[in-house]
Structure formats: structure tokens, C-alpha cells
Amino acid sequence: MATRADVLFAQTTGLIQFNGGGTQYVVQKANGDLFIFYIDSGSDVAFKSSTNNGITWSNPTVVFAGTVTALSVWYDRWSDIASDMVRVAYTESATDDTLYRGVDISDTALPVQGTQTSIFAGVSTATGGNLSITRARGGNLYCHTMIDAGAEGGFYRSTDAGATWGSRTVNETLATTDQIILLPGWGADNQDIMAFFWDASANEISRQLHDDSANTWSETSIAASMTDQVATIAFPHFAATVDIANSQNLLVAWSNVDTLNSDLRCWTVTDSAITEVTNVVLNSTDDQGLAAIGIDTTTGHWYVFYGGKSDGSEVYLTNINIYYKKSTDSGTTWGSETLLTTRLRDRTWLICTPRFVNHFGVAFHSDVSLDEIHYSAKLPTTGGSIMIN
């Protein structure tokens, strides 16, 4: 992969795309086709697809028309389930509900949307909530939603592929700036799931395990002294992916943001073990943040993406590029810092293809005054060189 593309993907609206409310990803099918679900300039949930590695994108398809405040997606194949269904959760502020819809992307040209259902019916939506959806390896769907910074929301499960949802024991009530990522678990019970929880007040990231049969949670600290940044400034600064081949989840997180000597740390996490590997970035020279992580499913290599050059020569958020490092030995060592994007921009939001084949890519919010989403990728060496700005 030796070529690069930086493509204007879509217009969005204000801070909604990256306000910390949802955990989002670029979905890549086994044949390389791409889908990005996003909040458009009308505050609707929409998606676009690409069949040429993200060089061009389809016209948008609206999943939900309303006033959306948070969005989260999960692809069944990330749970090692042979299905091309994307699970889409979104919170909207007209009726103050968290809603769900499945989108079948088996046929890229003709995706099929399922029936919208209600996960949680609330009373008032406010800035500072969170949203994350995942599917257990056994098939149950789970959603953690908080629509107004700790006052309304909870943890919900569907045992019938999203048709109905029931309340479960909540792990803890999340405060304004707390953040959470739901993922499949890897224990003997394939309906159990895992969560990475960033407690802003304690400056700590923990692993939380949900026992499906007992409807209980357990918690183990991953790292203390982890200073978060308010998600409405930039988001996210921690990210996770599933390593299906090794029955584990991978986590990366900045120990601090836009601060001298910050580290971009990395862990492998199972239901029984938490192992820190070599830092992706050690002792930053300031002006760095944002995080995303993906796995090449062919080679097993890890790729971690972040904003800002490690020598401090860029200005965080105002004028930064996206860079990445690769590990070919499961995080024992990391390759050199490599430029991905094509010019300095005010980048405030970053997601990637968490599991990919053939090529990898990232989507990011850029040019705050214009509210643009861009897509940038390493393309296959076959097919020629392209650079689009």
C-alpha cells in the first residue's frame, strides 16, 4: 500500500459528529467495500458506501430523519458472526429517545434497512451523554446509553436481534465527561460482553465485564493517571478493536492530550488478563491527541492512528495531520511514524476501519468552520496513485 487519498466525504453539523456521544467506526466488508454511518448537516443519521477504496462515495441514504445527538454502530462480523448486518443506535432530542435500526449491507448497491425500534424512552436530552452498541459472540445485542450526562439512560439488551429491548443492571451511572466502549467478551459464555470505561473524575480507565446469565458487572483497573479531555473539544482519545484470531480486545489511550510527555498507551485485554504492551508514542512533545486502532486481518498487524506529529511541530487541533504506526509483533515494537493525510487541518474527530483487508482508512472531522468529514486511506499499490484534496 503506497498511495494516499484525502477525500471530502460529507458535510455534518456543529459538534454533534464528535461530541463524545457515540462510538463509531468505518465499516469494511470482506470484499473491501466501505460504509460510513454519520450525522449529516440536517442532524439526520445517514450512510454512504464506496466500492473503490474510498476514492468516491455513493449518494447518502438516510436511516433516520430527526435531530440526532449521538450515534454508535457495530458490524456483526466484528463479533465473529457471519452476517453483514450493521447495528445502528442513535439518540435524538425531539422525543428524547435512544433508537435502533439494523442495516443489511450484504448487497452494497441495495442495502436493506430493518424496522426502527426503541431502546430507551427518555424525557430530556442534554450535552454530555454517551452511547455505545455491540453484539456478543452468542448473538445478544447490548446498548449503553446516557442521554443527559448521568440523569437518564441505562444498559439494555436485546435477545431477538433488536426487535425488543429490556433493561439490565447498569454498571454505573456515567457523569458528564465519562466515556464507554462496549465490545464482545471472550469467556466461556459467548453472551458475555466487555466494556472499557473512562472515569473522568478518577482519571482512570477500567475493564468492566458483564455476566449475561447473572446480569452482573465486575470491574478491574487498567490504568490510573489518565487525564481525559472534554469530548466536545475533540473525540475520541481512546479506542478499541477486536482481535478475533487471538480472542482478545485491543485498547489504545492517551495518558493526556496536548500535553508535554503524554503517552499513547496500548493494551491487550481478555476476560482474565490485562497486558500493557509498548507505548505507541512515548513522551510526546505536546500537540498530539485523538486515537483509533485497526487490525489487518490478513497479516495480523496492528495499526494505530493519531493526530499531530511527535516532534511538536504542529499545532494541536488548529493545524495537524493524521499519522500512524504499525506493529508486526503484537505491540512489542512499533514502526516509524508515518504521515497519512495530505495537509494540515483543524482535525477534531477520528475513526478508522477497526478490522480491514486490502487497505485501511480513517474518517475525520475537519475545517470546523465548514463542518466537513473527510476520508483518507492507504490504497492498494495496484490501481495507480491518487491524491485528492
Domain boundaries, position 12 = 3-379
Phi, psi dihedrals of residue 113, rounded to the nearest 5°:
-95, 135
CATH of the domain at 295: 2.120.10.10
Q: Write down the pTM of the prediction.
A: 0.95
274 is a domain residue: yes
Averaged pLDDT score across all residues of the chain = 91
Which of the residue ranges 1-10, 29-38, 122-131, 174-183 would you say has the lowest mean pLDDT? 1-10
User: What's the average model confidence in pLDDT over 56-78?
Assistant: 95
386 is a domain residue: no
**Would you place residue 150 in the very low, low, confident or very high pLDDT band (cuts 50, 70, 90)?**
low
- Cβ neighbors of 124 (< 8 A, separation 6 or more) are 96, 147, 148, 151, 152
CB 52 within 8 A of CB 379: no
389 is a domain residue: no
279 or 11, which is more confident = 279
Place of cell 456483526: 76
pLDDT attached to residue 383? 40
Q: Is the link from the previous residue into 236 a cis peptide, with omega within 30 of 0?
A: yes
124 is a domain residue: yes
167 is a domain residue: yes
198 is a domain residue: yes
Q: Measure Cα distances from 184 to 56, 74, 314 in Å.
A: 32, 11, 37
pLDDT higher than 60, residue 381: no
Q: Sheet containing 322-327: give its strands across.
A: 338-339, 322-327, 302-307, 289-296, 355-356
388 is a domain residue: no
Please write the tens of the pLDDT for every residue from 152-188.
889 999 999 999 999 999 887 667 678 999 999 999 9
CB 250 within 8 A of CB 267: yes
Please write the tens of the pLDDT for every residue from 113-149.
999 999 999 888 776 678 999 999 999 999 999 887 6
Give the total number of structural domains in the chain: 1
**Would you place residue 3 in the very low, low, confident or very high pLDDT band (cuts 50, 70, 90)?**
low
Cα separation, 257 vs 232, in Å, equals: 14
User: What's the average model confidence in pLDDT over 195-212?
Assistant: 96
Phi, psi dihedrals of residue 150, rounded to the nearest 5°:
100, -15
Please write the tens of the pLDDT for every residue from 80-107.
999 999 999 999 988 889 999 999 999 9
Q: Sheet containing 153-158: give its strands across.
A: 130-135, 141-146, 153-158, 166-168
**Would you place residue 44 in the very low, low, confident or very high pLDDT band (cuts 50, 70, 90)?**
very high
